């Protein structure tokens, strides 16, 4: 018996056609919705984040928290004029510095807002002079000509991007637009403006690379990637350390030790570039100009000794810059304290929380700075509650650079001046006279 021989065949066929039609309609709607969401996420084509109530609330929280402490800023030269430490101990390495992580981001941590103008302006007002730029590429932004283009990101422990797409235009950076350059431009503008109360203080830019493109550190793909970061540092061109007239060659990390031992006042109005990337591949090629050569522009390389963060290497050489987790210092046994303190006296050390979403606590900060002499533990400025302790009298309420306690300082060896020899030992270059009788 065939289907049309059944008495309910017509109804069955009709129902089946209807059912299939509904399924097709649902599928089409789902695909359209998915494509629309994907297009919004990647191309960032809709919505104005600054009109959102959450954005306005975040701006208000930053204003309420930091405006009251913004007027207290003073340059490091003011505290040095009070004879708080001898001239010989005023080495750059003998100061703690106030740093800000996730530069350009106003938070909150999850699904927060990218606003480099407001973020940098606020950071400068509250005294940040060390700025961490977390750099990565986006897998969804691989183009036909440039597959890997660097940009500042905010990622959680799982590597998920936390910046709201509609506050972050354009998502895919390019030679025509770099959010790294945008941030550098804002730092250069606000940190050295006449209105900045400590504009003479140096600025440290920490380039924290989460990944590098596949390939050897000498490959053109990798060097082009780092070169695009070098180009983005152009706003600092007249403030970078290269060959200084008063001595010192600081490009290509040539004199990292001297860089740290110099008097902090020698870096007035200057920008120092620290990086965790292996950029030595530039030394074997001549195709990049100095301003396109990140190795040339980098003054200090950051290495690790315990936990690898991002692309940081452990080269086995004696480093002058250290990037570690705060947790690494918390588990150092007491019988190694003196050893670590002596090492930190000679190494500029910066610590992040192992979980990038979690700020370093007050207790941890106090332990690793006052016991081991860690120089910088950047705050997540948008977490106003967790950052509050950093603006007290015993931390950075007034100064962005504060002297370390004397037991944690590097003390330059005294200059030994030879004593005058006894005249009776002078042989007159062998021309001795016979004694007279």
Check which CATH number belongs to the domain holding 287 and give it.
Answer: 3.20.20.190
Residue given tokens 């106090």 in the structure block: 366
Q: How many domains does the chain have?
A: 2
- Do 347 and 403 lie in a common domain? yes
- Do 208 and 297 lie in a common domain? yes
Burial degree of 99 (CB within 10 A; 0-12, 13-18, 19+): buried
**In 10 A of CB 408, how many CB atoms?**
20
**Contact partners, residue 45, CB within 8 Å, separation at least 6:** 39
**Contact partners, residue 291, CB within 8 Å, separation at least 6:** 230, 231, 234, 237, 297
Extract the tokens encoding 307.
Answer: 């936990």
The SS3 of residue 107 is strand
- Do 323 and 246 lie in a common domain? yes
Residue-number span of the structural domain to which 106 is assigned: 49-412
Task: Let me know if residue 432 belongs to a domain.
Answer: no
User: pTM for the full model?
Assistant: 0.85
Query: Would you state the pLDDT for residue 334?
Result: 95
Task: Let me know if residue 434 belongs to a domain.
Answer: no
- Do 80 and 166 lie in a common domain? yes
The SS3 of residue 388 is helix
Largest alpha-carbon pair distance within the chain? 155
Q: How far apart are CA 210 and CA 206, in angstroms?
A: 12
- Do 136 and 39 lie in a common domain? no
The SS3 of residue 242 is coil
Tell me the helix, strand and coil percentages in the chain, rounded to 5.
45, 15, 45
Task: Let me know if residue 199 belongs to a domain.
Answer: yes
Task: Let me know if residue 426 belongs to a domain.
Answer: no
- Do 20 and 164 lie in a common domain? no
Task: Let me know if residue 114 belongs to a domain.
Answer: yes
Radius of gyration of the chain (CA): 29
- Do 265 and 357 lie in a common domain? yes
Q: How far is CA 124 from CA 207, 321, 340, in A?
A: 18, 24, 32
- Do 97 and 66 lie in a common domain? yes
Task: Let me know if residue 428 belongs to a domain.
Answer: no
Query: Would you state the pLDDT for residue 312?
Result: 97
Q: How far apart are CA 79 and CA 200, in angstroms?
A: 13
Residue given tokens 């109005």 in the structure block: 269
Query: Would you state the pLDDT for residue 428?
Result: 63
Query: Would you state the pLDDT for residue 433?
Result: 58
Q: How far apart are CA 176 and CA 184, in angstroms?
A: 15
CA dihedral 316, 318, 323, 324 (to 10 degrees): 70
Query: Which stretches in the chain have pLDDT values below 70?
Result: 1-46, 144, 245-247, 316, 415-419, 421-437
Question: Where would I find the H helices in 87-126?
Answer: 116-126
- Do 168 and 24 lie in a common domain? no
- Do 241 and 263 lie in a common domain? yes
- Do 78 and 186 lie in a common domain? yes
- Do 113 and 36 lie in a common domain? no
Task: Let me know if residue 253 belongs to a domain.
Answer: yes
Task: Let me know if residue 172 belongs to a domain.
Answer: yes
Query: Would you state the pLDDT for residue 11?
Result: 52
The closest of 230, 263, 234 to 246, measured between CA atoms, is: 263
Task: Convert the pLDDT of each residue in 285-342 to its tens digit.
Answer: 999 999 999 999 999 999 999 999 999 999 867 899 999 999 999 999 999 999 999 9
């Amino acid at each position: 018996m065939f289907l049309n021989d059944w008495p309910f065949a017509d109804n069955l066929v009709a129902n089946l056609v209807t059912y299939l039609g509904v399924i097709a309609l649902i599928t089409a709607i789902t695909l359209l919705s998915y494509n629309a969401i994907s297009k919004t996420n990647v191309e960032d084509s809709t919505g104005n984040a600054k009109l959102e109530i959450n954005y306005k609330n975040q701006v208000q929280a930053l204003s309420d928290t930091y405006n009251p402490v913004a007027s207290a800023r003073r340059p490091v030269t003011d505290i040095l004029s009070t004879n708080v430490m001898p001239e010989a101990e005023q080495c750059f390495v003998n100061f703690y510095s106030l740093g800000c992580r996730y530069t350009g981001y106003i938070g909150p941590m999850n699904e927060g807002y990218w606003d480099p103008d407001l973020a940098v302006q606020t950071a400068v007002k509250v005294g940040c002079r060390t700025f961490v730029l977390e750099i990565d590429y986006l897998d969804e932004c691989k183009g036909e000509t440039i597959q890997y283009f660097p940009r500042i990101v905010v990622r959680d422990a799982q590597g998920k991007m936390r910046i709201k797409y509609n506050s972050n235009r354009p998502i895919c950076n390019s030679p025509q637009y770099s959010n790294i350059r945008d941030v550098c431009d804002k730092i250069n503008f606000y940190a050295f403006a006449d209105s900045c109360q400590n504009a003479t203080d140096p600025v440290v830019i920490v380039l924290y690379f989460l990944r590098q493109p596949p390939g050897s550190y000498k490959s053109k793909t990798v060097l082009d990637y780092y070169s695009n970061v070098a180009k983005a540092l152009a706003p600092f061109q007249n403030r970078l350390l290269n060959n200084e007239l008063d001595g010192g060659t600081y490009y290509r990390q040539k004199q990292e030790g001297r860089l740290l031992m110099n008097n902090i006042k020698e870096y007035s109005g200057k920008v120092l570039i620290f990086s965790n990337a292996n950029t030595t591949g530039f030394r074997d090629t001549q195709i990049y100009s100095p301003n396109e050569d990140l190795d040339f522009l980098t003054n200090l390389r950051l290495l690790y000794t315990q936990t690898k963060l991002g692309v940081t290497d452990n080269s086995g050489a004696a480093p002058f810059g250290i990037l570690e987790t705060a947790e690494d210092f918390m588990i150092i046994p007491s019988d190694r304290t003196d050893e670590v303190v002596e090492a930190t006296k000679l190494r500029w050390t910066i610590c992040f929380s192992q979980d990038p979403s979690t700020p370093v606590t007050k207790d941890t900060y106090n332990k690793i700075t006052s016991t081991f002499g860690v120089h910088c533990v950047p705050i997540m400025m948008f977490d106003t509650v967790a950052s509050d302790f950093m603006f007290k009298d015993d931390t950075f309420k007034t100064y962005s650079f504060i002297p370390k306690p004397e037991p944690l300082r590097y003390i330059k060896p005294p200059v030994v001046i030879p004593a005058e020899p006894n005249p009776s030992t002078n042989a007159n270059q062998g021309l001795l006279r016979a004694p007279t009788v």
